[in-house]
Amino acid sequence: MENKITRRDAIGKIAATVAIAAVAPGALAQSQNSNTNKANAKELTDPRNKYPKPPFNKQSQPFPGLAGKMTPVPDHGEKSYVGSGRLEGRKALITGGDSGIGRAAAIAYAREGADVAINYLPAEEEDAKQVIELIKKEGRKGIAIPGDIRSEAFCKQLVSQAVQQLGGLDILINNAGHQKANESILDLSSDDFDWTMKTNIYAPFWITKAALPHMKPGSSIIGLSSIQAYDPSADLYDYAQTKAATTNYVKSLAKQLGPKGIRVNGVAPGPVWTPLQVSGGQTQENLEKFGGDTPLGRPGQPVELASIFVQLAADNASFATGQIYGATGGKGQP
């Protein structure tokens, strides 16, 4: 039987052919883009092997220690942190911003568009200069304010200088801390106990009080808690107490300041490779195996916490207040 093609069938086939031809370039481009994206996609990184693992070399520095003299040198994000303008135009004060977690936060904030003032002890000037250079390299203001936050008068002066030189203040990170391991409470002097309390509890109280009159709705305060607040080590009797106190002041202050539009949160790290550890924060025996008891088998690096500080200060975290964000490598709470 002979196949017959009607006029309607012919017109339909022609229309279908035209439609395919019209769609094909777009489909081709989409396919090419997909291939390009696959080529540019970063491969997954095994978090267990991303940074150095124990055993570490025994090493000791006089308090407060310098990051540049550690082996290995900590990664604060100097080369790895990439910003995206999430804190454009913001003005931040970070205590202990010369090294460790504070330094990582300072670098990240500058790369996210914020002007940053850092506080540190005069003995940490070498580390502080590097941070200020990195901040200014991003085209942001970098303000260095050395001094001892165990003094209430200096804490007031610190905030005043930061506000004046930054032109305001809308982010405060109470990061600076004192930690010294003591095998027994009998080895802990009243002077050392007072040093820890003044640095870790009194200073955030004084600095926050001085800063609040300058902070508008939308501002953010971030405290540095620790895994020690939840699972204290036997040799960190005084330090652990202060971190439990930090957790509580974050939650209390969040309730007090929420009605004013100011958010208060905290970050609770586990073992992180910073000068705090090599300047009395750990015994030499513990330092060799530092971080090895985490599920990831290593300590954290300061840069691995930087994005948490950015998120807590950013506007899109506007419903987060009174929260403690953990970064412990899987070890303990929160």
| Active centre residues (catalytic) | 239
Give yes or no for a contact between 278 and 59, defined as CB atoms under 8 angstroms apart.
yes
301, amino acid identity: Q
Give yes or no for a contact between 142 and 135, defined as CB atoms under 8 angstroms apart.
yes
User: What is the per-residue DSSP string for 61-130?
Assistant: -STT--GGGSSSPP--STTT----STTTT-EEEEETTTSHHHHHHHHHHHHTT-EEEEEE-GGGHHHHHH
How far apart, in Å, are the Cα atoms of 123 and each of 9, 65, 163, 200, 316?
88, 8, 24, 19, 37
Helices 203-211 & 152-166 angle (0-180, nearest 10):
40
Cα torsion 16, 22, 25, 29: sign: negative
3-state secondary structure of 60: coil
CA atoms of 287 and 21, how far apart (whole Å):
68
Nearest Cα to Cα of residue 267 among 296, 302, 216, 215? 302
